[in-house]
Amino acid sequence: MTLHATIDRVTDRIRERSQQTRSAYLTRMAAAAEEGPRRAHLSCGNQAHAYAAMTNKDELALTRKPNIGIVTAYNDMLSAHQPYERFPNLIRAAAERAGATAQVAGGVPAMCDGVTQGRPGMELSLFSRDVIALAAGVAMSHDTFDAALYLGVCDKIVPGLIIAAGTFGHVPSVFVPAGPMPSGLPNDEKSKVRQQFAAGEVGRDKLMAAEMASYHSPGTCTFYGTANSNQMLMEFMGLHLPGASFVNPNTDMRDALTGAAAERAAAITRLGNDYLPVGEILDERAFVNGIVGLMATGGSTNLVLHIPAMARAAGVLVDIEDFHDISDAVPLMARVYPNGLADVNHFHAAGGLGYMIRHLLEAGLLHEDVRTVTGGGLDRYTTEPKLKEGRVIWEDGPKDSLNEKILRPATDPFAPIGGLKQLQGNLGRGVIKISAVAPERHIIEAPARVFSDQEQVKEAFKAGEFTEDTIVVVRFQGPAANGMPELHSLTPILAVLQDRGLRVALVTDGRMSGASGKVPAAIHLAPEAAKGGPLARVRDGDMIRLDAVNGVIECEAKDFDSREPVTADLSANQFGMGREMFGLFRAAAGDATEGACGIV
Label residues 442-463 b or e (16+ Cβ within 10 Å = b): bbbebebbbbbbbeebbebbee
Cα atoms found within 13 Å of the Cα of residue 23, Cβ hemisphere only: 6
154 annotated ligand binder:
yes
Would you say the C-alpha torsion 585, 111, 522, 284 has a positive or negative sign? positive
Helix, strand or coil, per DSSP, at residue 208: helix
What span, in angstroms and rounded, lies between the C-alpha atoms of 531 and 554?
19
Phi/psi of residue 5, each to 5°? -60, -40
Determine what percent of the chain falls in helix, strand and coil, rounding each to the nearest 5: 45, 15, 40
Q: Contact, 422 vs 551, CB < 8 A?
A: yes
Taking each helix axis as running N to C, give the angle between helix 125-140 and helix 157-167, from 0 to 180 degrees, rounded to the nearest 10.
Answer: 40
- CA terminus-to-terminus distance, the chain: 36
Residue 95: closest CA among 141, 53, 59, 45:
59
Backbone region of residue 263 per phi and psi (left: phi > 0; alpha: psi in -120 to 50; beta: other values): alpha
What span, in angstroms and rounded, lies between the C-alpha atoms of 191 and 491?
10
What span, in angstroms and rounded, lies between the C-alpha atoms of 284 and 155?
22
Q: Are strands 552-555 and 101-107 parallel, antiparallel or unpaired?
A: unpaired
Label residues 325-337 b or e (16+ Cβ within 10 Å = b): bbbbbbbbbbbbb
Q: Contact, 535 vs 525, CB < 8 A?
A: yes
The radius of gyration of the chain's CA atoms, rounded to the nearest angstrom, is: 24
Residue 113: closest CA among 238, 219, 14, 225:
225
Q: Which amino acid, residue 379? A: D
Residue 331: closest CA among 574, 1, 4, 591:
4
Which residues carry a binding-site annotation for [4Fe-4S] cluster? 154, 221
Which residues carry a binding-site annotation? 154, 221
